[in-house]
Structure 1
Amino acid sequence: MLTIRTQILIAFISSIVLTTAILTVAYKWMWFDAHTTLLLTISAIIASCLTTVICILFINPLVRRIRLMNLQTKRVAQGHYNETELNIDSPKEMRELSHSFNTMARNIETQIEQVKHEQQEKSEMVQNLSHDLKTPLASITSYAEGLKDGVISTKKEQNKAYDVLIKQSQRIATMFDELTSVMSLNTVSRNNYELETIYIDKLFVSILQTYEQQAACESRTIDVNLCDEVQSFKQYRVPLERILLNIIDNAIKFTSPGSRIELKVNQEAGNLLVITVSDDGPGIASEHLNRIFDRTYRVEESRNKTTGGSGLGLYIARNLAHQMDGVLEVKSKINIGSSFILKIPMK
């Protein structure tokens, strides 16, 4: 493979040979006499040599820049993205090429870091899920062995064991449902949903029916306050319902039986729908508020032992809100309660 300098030298040598050949032919055809032909040949050779030298002087800096770019390209291939800044000012084409190279290196570094971060989060999420599965599986195993061995013999104890088995099985199912939802967030966009006309009263009736039996058994109160300005609007029903269900699930998990949950609907300027879900639970400390929507963050290491689930509900809700061009915020005070505020545009 020839270098640029070698190719230029070959081109000029070929030019000298061709010029000499033309002058020789001209001499044989007697276009010039011998003296004139010799002078023209010498002049052509000298001019070609000078042109070659001048060209090489101009080409050398360009070759050095190309070699530098080649070296930096190899460093990028080796993973040294932040050590490959090119500062080439001229010629114009090389300056533009170096600028594009620097932009490419920065973009690759950003994407690589993002992939590493996502892989780390997924690894932590799997580890957390494995840890969370140990408790319900141990409980299921112990009660199943007790039933098999006859240790749990009375009808009352057996009914209790069956309740525990059902509850822990549902807990495991919830964990896997949340994990499946997280995995699908990367492949499902709002283009997969259908824009529908949503009647706010019917939406909340449907959601409240989901918790009717549980609220009655646990003596919970779920209040709904609707504003008269909001009757119907266009949005994506499926993600909206999922967001509200996840937030209400979270409120139920972290409050005691007999507690109160409030759902409030308002309209803000800019045709913005605001849905607030408030509870009177233990609240969330201020140092945790900015991270409770993270996929792998845990306020308490032991929280899932009593509440069930994998702690992914809020992460899923926030991402669905973003798909709807909305935001999900939280306000909380210790020993007073928490409020999750969903803001989405009404289409």
Structure 2
Amino acid sequence: MFATKNLSPQQLSLYTAAILTFPITVGYYVMHPKWWVSLIVFAIVFLGSFLLIKFTLERFIYRKIKLIYKFIYQTKASKREETYYKYILPQKSIDEVREDVEKWASQQKEEIEILRSNEAYRKEFLQNLAHEFKTPIFAIQGYVDTLLDGAMENKEVSKRFLENTARNVDRLVTLASDLDEITKLESGEQPLNKTHFIIQDLIKEIYDSLSIKTAAKNIRASIKKGCDQPVSVFADKEKIKQVISNIVSNSTKYGKENGHIVASIYKTDGQHVLIEISDDGIGIAEEHLPRIFERFYRTDRGRSRDVGGTGLGLAICKHIIEAHGQTIHVRSKPDIGTTIGFTLDVK
């Protein structure tokens, strides 16, 4: 059977003209059995049918198809594009045009879904941002109003209120600082100052700086046995210090009394190093894991604010690691603990 699926307009015109001409010629030959006259009739009918069908296809059907293409690309056609529409496009079969339109429709659908997702994320982010700022601002307002209403006369009360006000001011400053940093990281305004350094030395330095917090909960921080052999990495030391400090700080906040924080360092493929920080704390439910690196996302909003933090720490970690061209991941189970790991270049 002759395949008609991918015929061009000209081939379709020829094929249709032949189908029309054959029975007409046969009928004429039956009535007037002169082969040379029938041949002339065949030629005239075939040529006339071919030209008429071709004109109809290109004038009406493919004219509409060209308009569809112009709508798809949504641009005023240049001279080159006009040539394409006039001479090249008509060579496409209807099925090829259909595939192009379906591909365009699929792309449009994906873009719409992305826009909807971004819009939902934007709304949630603005709501979280407003709430994060509103909480300390209202607290400060309450303390100041109380002091102005006469509480200043009581030195003990005024001191306590001023201390609480100072804590909320510090929270606002930290929040503004974190937002500024994450904005710079996203826009690439903070260039990386990469150097070679021993990752174990940096981890020990961070453990020492956070020792007061870990000691308060009697949490033991260490490097896993067998991972203490010095490993040199090539990264921005201050940025990676911020990442590890953030992770260890979270492990301390949500860690159990008398718990343990362990750092593991593994050489993976000779070019990268995997650093993992594990704890035996409260853990994170599985449904929260895909979102913990989002800005302001909290698995337990009430508890998270009680232990402090702006909700931007892990988002900053993610941006720093991705700025290094590396990846960051999380594994966790409730009441068992959490492991956050990331990769770095060796050189």
Which band: TM-score by shorter chain? 0.5 to 0.7
> Which residue of the partner structure matches residue 172 of structure 1?
172
Alignment of structure 1 residues 236-255 onto 2, 5 Å: 236-255=236-255
2:62 to 54, 61, 65: 65
- The one-letter amino acid of 1:225's match is I
Which structure 2 segments of 5+ residues have no match? 1-42, 75-88
Q: Conserved in 1, the CA contact under 8 Å of 2:330 and 2:338?
A: yes
> Secondary structure, in 3 states, of the residue corresponding to 2:317?
helix
Q: Conserved in 2, the CA contact under 8 Å of 1:264 and 1:275?
A: yes
- The one-letter amino acid of 1:300's match is D
Classify 1:124/1:146 alpha carbon distance in 2 versus 1 (closer, same or farther; 3 Å): same
Q: Report deviation, 1:51.
A: 7.1
| 2:297 equivalent to 1:300 | no
Q: Conserved in 2, the CA contact under 8 Å of 1:267 and 1:274?
A: yes
> Which residue of the partner structure matches residue 342 of structure 2?
342
> Which residue of the partner structure matches residue 198 of structure 2?
199
**Per-residue deviation, residues 113-170 of structure 1 (Å, max 9, x unmatched):** 3233223212211111212333222222222233333425555444433332222122
| 2:195 equivalent to 1:224 | no
- The one-letter amino acid of 2:263's match is K
Tell me the distance in 1 between the aligned counterparts of 2:50 and 2:68: 26
Alignment of structure 1 residues 140-219 onto 2, 5 Å: 140-151=140-151, 153-188=153-188, 192-208=191-207, 210-212=209-211, 214-215=213-214, 218=216
Tell me the distance in 2 between the aligned counterparts of 1:213 and 1:112: 50
Tell me the distance in 2 between the aligned counterparts of 1:212 and 1:112: 49
- The one-letter amino acid of 1:138's match is F
Q: Report deviation, 1:270.
A: 1.1
* Paired residue total: 287
- The one-letter amino acid of 2:278's match is S
Q: TM-score, normalized by length of structure 1? A: 0.66
Q: Report deviation, 1:55.
A: 3.8
> Secondary structure, in 3 states, of the residue corresponding to 1:62?
helix
Classify 1:181/1:120 alpha carbon distance in 2 versus 1 (closer, same or farther; 3 Å): farther
Q: Give the alignment's Cα RMSD to 1 decimal.
A: 3.8
Which structure 1 segments of 5+ residues have no match? 1-46, 78-88
Tell me the distance in 1 between the aligned counterparts of 2:338 and 2:186: 29
Classify 1:75/1:90 alpha carbon distance in 2 versus 1 (closer, same or farther; 3 Å): closer
- The one-letter amino acid of 1:262's match is I
Q: Report deviation, 1:75.
A: 7.5
Q: Conserved in 2, the CA contact under 8 Å of 1:222 and 1:261?
A: yes
Q: Report deviation, 1:304.
A: 4.3
> Which residue of the partner structure matches residue 312 of structure 1?
312
Tell me the distance in 1 between the aligned counterparts of 2:102 and 2:186: 29
Q: Conserved in 1, the CA contact under 8 Å of 2:332 and 2:338?
A: yes
Alignment of structure 1 residues 1-347 onto 2, 5 Å: 54-63=50-59, 64-71=61-68, 74=71, 91-92=91-92, 102-151=102-151, 153-188=153-188, 192-208=191-207, 210-212=209-211, 214-215=213-214, 218=216, 221=219, 223-225=221-223, 227-255=227-255, 260=259, 262-271=261-270, 272-295=272-295, 297-347=297-347
Q: Conserved in 2, the CA contact under 8 Å of 1:132 and 1:304?
A: no
- The one-letter amino acid of 2:194's match is L
Q: Conserved in 2, the CA contact under 8 Å of 1:295 and 1:312?
A: yes
- The one-letter amino acid of 1:223's match is A
Q: What's the % identity of the aligned pairs? A: 23
Q: Report deviation, 1:233.
A: 2.0
Classify 1:208/1:335 alpha carbon distance in 2 versus 1 (closer, same or farther; 3 Å): same
> Secondary structure, in 3 states, of the residue corresponding to 1:335?
coil
Q: Report deviation, 1:241.
A: 2.6
Tell me the distance in 2 between the aligned counterparts of 1:261 and 1:137: 36
**Per-residue deviation, residues 216-243 of structure 1 (Å, max 9, x unmatched):** 6x35545231624443121343542332
Q: TM-score, normalized by length of structure 2? A: 0.66
> Secondary structure, in 3 states, of the residue corresponding to 1:186?
helix
Classify 1:316/1:59 alpha carbon distance in 2 versus 1 (closer, same or farther; 3 Å): farther
Q: Conserved in 2, the CA contact under 8 Å of 1:189 and 1:323?
A: no
Q: Report deviation, 1:301.
A: 3.8
Classify 1:224/1:146 alpha carbon distance in 2 versus 1 (closer, same or farther; 3 Å): same
- The one-letter amino acid of 2:175's match is M
> Secondary structure, in 3 states, of the residue corresponding to 2:210?
helix
**Per-residue deviation, residues 81-135 of structure 1 (Å, max 9, x unmatched):** xxxxxxxx97348876765565455444434432332232122111112123332
> Which residue of the partner structure matches residue 22 of structure 1?
none
Q: Report deviation, 1:187.
A: 1.8
Q: Report deviation, 1:299.
A: 1.8
Tell me the distance in 2 between the aligned counterparts of 1:53 and 1:185: 67
